[in-house]
Amino acid sequence: MAAIGSAVGLGNLWRFPYVAGENGGGAFVVFYILCVLLIGLPVLVAELFIGRRGGMSAVGSVVKIARAEGRSPLWSLQSWFGMIGSFIILTFYSVIAGWVLAYVVMIGGDLFAAIGRDGVAGLASGAFAGQTPEQVSAKLGELLSDPTRMIIYHAIFMVLTVFIVARGVKGGIETAVTLLMPAFFILLIVLFGFALIEGDAARGADFLLGVRFDDLLDGVKDGSVISAALGQAFFSIGLGSALMATYGAYMRADQDLPGSARLVAIADTGVGIVAGLAIFPIVFAMGLAAGAGPTLMFQTLPLAFHGMPVGGLFGLAFFLLAFFAAITSSIALLETSTKWVDEQTKADRRWVSASIIGLVIFAIGVLNALSQVPAVGPNGEDQSNFWNVWQPLGGVPLFEGMVLLDFLSATTDLILPIAGFITAVFAGWVISSTTAREAIGFKSEVWFKRWRFLIRWVAPIGIFAVIFYAMVWSPFILPAINGSAG
């Protein structure tokens, strides 16, 4: 459940359904599942068995295995990339999770006010009852224009994350996911049922699962669909970020590692599909356009819940669902660094490690929050500050126009595939076949040989394709081709 919780995050709710719908629907979903099976799952198995075999932090496990194989400990570079990537991700993920928490408070407060005013009948009201659609849509802008409020919610979220991780694996992480993940799946099923009854289920299903080969082929021609599918399969499961290697260290020797990996991959993919079937019927029923990212979650969906009966109750359920997804991912992101620091200090003071790392992440998160303040406020006032104007690498095409939060997000989009590529090479070419066979524990030699082929050839080539598309093809070659064609 902890591994599933680390994989299932906000991206499953706001990115996968839209990417699938825009790139061929059911045709893309099939293509995506193939990417999960041929690339995502083999790398996931590799990360879990590296963690279990080493029994240490992601970095420590690779060093231990490399030395046992007579290879250089510098192969731990993969885990360094992953651990640094996880650290960076949490600096902005916690800010966005703070927005989720703010909406939980706003919608929950509005709902309780309606109940206090109208009694049980208040449950039938839409989200933000009594307000205009324009006021509902403007709430995200109001939140972003109030940095103090953003920072407070960011702080609350980080305190919760640090508290859970500081309590340890059994008392903190295991207890948290045992409570949060069942609650997450219950809320997801409830929202799915609500969407079937109140939403435009037929249109939502057609958008997500209707087979449109023309859309798929258009994206294949310029490489965008291939990159989107491979990238989503890679990032959604949390590969390359040292999460799975860290959690793998806590797996028992008799635990079914391939079965656990399959369960994580199936659950992650299933959540993305069910989330889409819960979200888009609600959006389409209100005559709103499909979208992705913060716009979908913080503007489109609140508008949809605003116009629906019982929208306040189910809007609250949705944002609680998103909060559970965010917190289970964040504790995994923090655990990667905390376990390594504990390993280096050899001190049984996990709360100190988690608190210090959490404080640094919080401080960088404050700067990320300030970078998201609109330069022009709701009433036309100037809200410019250094952080919402400064572009760290604005002169580089790959990072052009990006303020700090966007820049860090784009950076991790490059760091994690590189870490995943090195992981695939390490597991497939450096670790001996005998060690891998023993450490993984496939029940069939045939399945081991299939995994071995995929991790040695298919996964490295596929991940390299994502890296090449993101760093070379998309920012440099594709614009040149389009320019010459024009």
Which two tokens mark 175?
A: 């207890």
User: With contact defined as beta carbons under 8 Å apart, do 210 and 456 qualify?
Assistant: no
Inter-residue contact 130 to 122 (CB < 8 Å): no
Count up the domains in the chain and report the number. Answer: 1
Torsional sign, CA 378, 282, 286, 16: positive
| Global pTM value | 0.95
The tokens describing 279, both together, are 């979200």
Largest interatomic CA distance in the chain: 72
Instruction: Quote the pLDDT of residue 453.
Output: 98
Query: How many whole angstroms separate alpha carbon 12 and alpha carbon 300?
Result: 16
CA angle 232–194–235, rounded 5-degree value: 10
Q: What's the CATH code of the domain at 315? A: 1.20.1740
| pLDDT score for 76 | 96
Instruction: Note the pLDDT tens digit of each residue in 98-122.
Output: 999 999 999 999 999 999 999 988 8
Q: Residue 485's pLDDT is what?
A: 58
For 129, the domain range is 2-485
Q: Are 398 and 60 in contact (CB under 8 A)?
A: no
Reported as a single tens digit per residue, the pLDDT across 376-423 is 988 889 999 999 999 999 988 889 999 999 999 999 989 999 999 999
The answer to whether 336 and 243 have CB atoms below 8 angstroms apart is: yes
Kindly give the parts of the chain with pLDDT less than 50. Answer: none
Distance CA 161, CA 167 (A): 10
> What is the C-alpha separation between 52 and 108, in angstroms, rounded?
42
DSSP state of 376: B
pLDDT of residue 230: 81
Q: In the prediction, which pLDDT does 319 show?
A: 97
**CB of 198 closer than 8 Å to CB of 285:** yes
